[in-house]
Amino acid sequence: MTFTQALLEAIESLNGNKMRSGLTVLGIVIGVAAVIAMLAVGNGAQASITGSISSIGTNLLFVFSGAPDQGGPGQGPGGGRSGNNTRPLTLSDAEAISDPFAAPSVESVAPAIQGNGTLTFGGEKSTTTISGVTPAYSTVRNLELAEGEFLNEEHMLGRMSVVVLGPETATAIFGHADGVVGQMIRIEGQPFRVIGVLVAKGGGAFGSEDNSAYIPFTTAQARLIKRDSRDQVDVLFVQATSADSVTQAADEISNILRQRHRTPIGADDFSVFTQQDFLKTFETITGVLTIFLGGIAGISLLVGGIGIMNIMLVSVTERTREIGLRKALGARRKDILLQFLTESSLLSLIGGIIGVIFGWLIAFTVGQVAKATGNNFTPIVGANAILLSTSFSAVIGLFFGIYPASRAASLEPVEALRYE
């Protein structure tokens, strides 16, 4: 028996039991669709997170107070202040790092102090992250203004009560993010004038950058965010001269701070992180999440495979006399084996193809729902996910069809013909 003959007979056999074949295929369809949809959601989440981090530049470094096992991205800005022997970062440290002779790979430095505060306007209220920053912050963090202006040196020197809002914060207290420049709001009960609104950027390394408020560093020091000393800062945002010089800039920053803090190598009281550090961390997390989701969905594929084996065993029992007649007419063991393996593989392959279509539709629907709710998230259906799920479904059909096919091929012609 040739493969073409086996394929035609398999189609004829499956067509003779449409309802049973359809229900069997349904198990594979659900499994493949689940795998495709889950992997698409995981890949989309990874692309969304890494894209948000990359959007603020590939030449950005973060300097925190505290050793790497005390502070850093795990605790957020200012997380390293908990150590008793930790010397805090200061404005003097920022000035030393910005010295082009000491750190030629550093383009700009933006110190910041950060805290939470309540913003009110009329009867509306919103709690958000308040950052005291310098004019260099806008350039270092690659911020764009939708309207108005960012903080400047005049605001710093005069300790002015001015604020630049993120679009989420502006919408929360005004109901809209446009046409709010010049409005007076209150931050922790103190009046501030809105001078600018940022362009929406989505989530960042420390949460959503759209839900934020920026005030002059000197104003924050004097009136809103108190620290142990007047020149203490929570984090230094450093811009390297280029993406290729990030590693060199990190080394220069570390050497400067070791000299200023008088700490030996290996006993640093500060942490320097790059965008790549954050990207690797988030890619690892989302990668594990994607594998986890795909593994859960893969269980349904196994269930579908068991369904195929069950149906094929029923088919062998029903067609025992047919098998005996075929063998009596000269069919070989491998012919019977090929016939039933072809049927099980065909069931699985058809289910895989339909499952890919349904999986893509589910991923597309999730993307449309996310878009309608204002989330910057698009599920990604990769070619590798399609190939993996369809190949796996075909293999499952082949694997779970081996036992029924072997059972059919091992039947003795005389016993099979006598079967009632």
Q: Tens of pLDDT along 357-397?
A: 888 888 888 888 877 776 667 787 777 777 777 777 777 77
pLDDT tens digits along 260-301: 888 776 677 778 877 776 667 667 777 777 777 777 777 777
Q: Is the pLDDT of residue 81 over 50?
A: no
What pLDDT score was predicted for residue 76?
A: 40
pLDDT tens digits along 304-357: 777 777 777 777 666 666 667 766 767 677 777 777 777 777 878 888 888 888
The pair of three-digit structure tokens given for residue 260, joined into one six-digit string = 């200023």
The predicted model gives 46-60 an average pLDDT of 65
Helix axes 333-372, 3-16, angle to 10 degrees: 60
pLDDT tens digits along 2-18: 667 767 776 776 677 77
> How does DSSP classify residue 224?
I
Q: Choose from 26-35, 117-126, 293-302 the range with maximum mean pLDDT.
A: 117-126
Q: Is the pLDDT of residue 243 over 70?
A: yes
What pLDDT score was predicted for residue 77?
A: 39
* Pairwise pLDDT comparison (72 vs 274), residue with the higher score: 274
With contact defined as beta carbons under 8 Å apart, do 114 and 220 qualify? Answer: no
The predicted model gives 152-168 an average pLDDT of 89
Q: Rounded CA gap, 274 and 56, in Å?
A: 12
With contact defined as beta carbons under 8 Å apart, do 187 and 131 qualify? Answer: no
| Cβ neighbours of residue 12 closer than 8 Å, sequence gap 6 or more | none
Tell me the DSSP string of 294-359.
Answer: HHHHHHHHHHHHHHHHHHHHHHHHHTHHHHHHHHHTT--HHHHHHHHHHHHHHHHHHHHHHHHHHH
Q: Is the pLDDT of residue 72 over 50?
A: no
What pLDDT score was predicted for residue 168?
A: 87
pTM of the model: 0.59
